[in-house]
């Protein structure tokens, strides 16, 4: 059964972490500040369509809002709920799990982008993703370095849209009418999943979040324009012998207290 008070408290927490006032959040959603206030006190809950939009704006999943009590973890026999202000004792990550997730930093840069496309039409024949894929594969063959990933697919956890971007040091002369965006970069917690396997994506994605929350030094970063991302890391020869692609999943994080 939905606990509206807990859900409301979670909305308020996520709003503050995203550095929104009730007024600015209301403006993003096309509702009144009074409506946001009612949600946060548990006096009312957003309708389904608004809930999805709210999750998009706050960079979370709907379950993060509706069932925050399920974000409780068991680590070294000490249970704690995800809370940006909570400081667990040291060494919450068990020694065997310390290298299950790696921490990397990506630089801010320009990206050639597919633009935001609804998931329901993103991969239709002749669609925007196919157009971007054709440009990306042609342009990628022209670069001399192969030392780090350049392309990432990302979007809000609510899944209302997806975007595919390719990092560039200089904007190419021919981008086939695609968009150019500013990628904010930052710290990410990363682990490997199986490409095109939604169940494995979910397992790995949740595992990364649990690892971050169980650490004593990192917190999930839900600030605007930082999204969970995916990058296919296997070269073609590895794909041929393994029979599947590996996908690195990137979850945005920040140093606690930073």
Q: Are residues 175 and 233 in the same domain?
A: yes
Q: Do residues 132 and 235 share a domain?
A: yes
- Domain count for the chain, please give it: 2
The string of pLDDT tens digits covering residues 218-250 is 988 877 788 999 999 898 899 999 999 999 999
Question: Which domain range does residue 37 map to?
Answer: 4-66
Residues 83, 98: Cα–Cα separation, whole Å? 21
Statement to judge: residues 113 and 58 lie in one domain = no
User: Are 220 and 109 members of one domain?
Assistant: yes
17 with 144, same domain: the answer is no
Q: Residue 21 sits in a domain of what CATH number?
A: 1.10.260.40
Report if residue 20 sits inside a domain: yes
Backbone angles phi, psi at 129, to 5 degrees: -70, -40
- Tell me: do 129 and 245 sit in the same domain: yes
d(CA 51, CA 49): 5
Work out the end-to-end distance of the chain between its first and last CA atoms, rounded to an integer number of angstroms.
36
pLDDT digits (tens, 9 = 90+) for 27-39: 878 889 999 999 9
Would residue 231 count as lying in a domain? yes
Domain final position from 66, 87, 119: 66
56 shares its domain with 179? no
163 and 246 share one domain: yes
Domain-embedded: residue 92: no
Q: Based on the domain organization, do 173 and 235 belong to the same domain?
A: yes
Residue 110 lies in a domain: yes
Between CA 58 and CA 67 the distance in angstroms is 15
Placement of tokens 């609804």 in the chain: 118
Quick one: pLDDT at residue 92?
Answer: 58
- For residues 52 and 108, membership in a common domain is answered with no
Residue 86 placed within a domain: no
Rounded CA separation 209/189 (Å): 8
Domain assignment present for 88: no
Whether residue 114 sits in one domain with residue 39: no
**For each of the chain's 258 residues, which pLDDT tens digit applies?**
678 888 898 899 888 877 788 998 888 788 899 999 999 999 999 887 788 878 877 877 787 788 755 443 333 333 323 333 333 334 456 666 677 899 999 999 999 999 999 988 888 998 999 999 999 999 988 888 777 789 999 988 777 889 999 999 899 999 999 999 999 999 999 999 999 898 999 899 989 988 988 888 898 887 778 899 999 989 889 999 999 999 999 999 999 876
The CATH number for 124's domain is 3.20.80.10
Residue 93 located in a structural domain = no
Cβ distance 117 to 194 under 8 Å?
Answer: no
Per the domain annotation, does 187 fall within a domain? yes
The answer to whether residues 132 and 197 belong to one domain is yes
pLDDT at 72: 37
């Amino acid at each position: 059964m939905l606990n509206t008070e807990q859900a409301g408290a979670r909305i308020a927490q996520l709003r503050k972490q995203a550095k929104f006032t009730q007024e600015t959040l209301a403006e993003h959603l096309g509702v009144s500040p009074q409506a946001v206030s009612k949600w946060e006190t548990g006096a009312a809950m957003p309708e389904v369509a608004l809930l999805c939009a709210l999750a998009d704006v706050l960079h979370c999943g709907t379950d993060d809002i509706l069932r925050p009590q399920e974000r409780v973890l068991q680590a070294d026999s000490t249970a704690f709920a995800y809370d940006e202000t909570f400081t667990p004792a040291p060494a919450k990550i068990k020694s065997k799990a310390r290298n299950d997730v790696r921490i990397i930093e990506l630089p801010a840069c320009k990206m050639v982008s597919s633009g935001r496309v609804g998931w329901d039409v993103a991969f239709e024949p002749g669609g925007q993703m196919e157009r971007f894929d054709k440009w990306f594969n042609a342009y990628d063959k022209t670069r001399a370095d192969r030392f780090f990933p350049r392309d990432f697919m990302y979007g809000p956890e609510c899944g209302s849209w997806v975007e595919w971007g390719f990092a560039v040091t200089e904007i190419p002369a021919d981008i086939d009418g695609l968009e150019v965006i500013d990628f904010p970069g930052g710290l990410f917690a990363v682990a490997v999943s199986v490409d095109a396997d939604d169940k494995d994506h979910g397992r790995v994605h949740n595992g990364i979040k649990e690892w971050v929350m169980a650490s004593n030094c990192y917190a999930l970063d839900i600030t605007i324009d930082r999204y969970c991302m995916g990058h296919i890391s296997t070269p073609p020869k590895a794909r041929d012998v393994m029979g599947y692609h590996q996908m690195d999943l990137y979850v945005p994080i920040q140093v606690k207290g930073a």
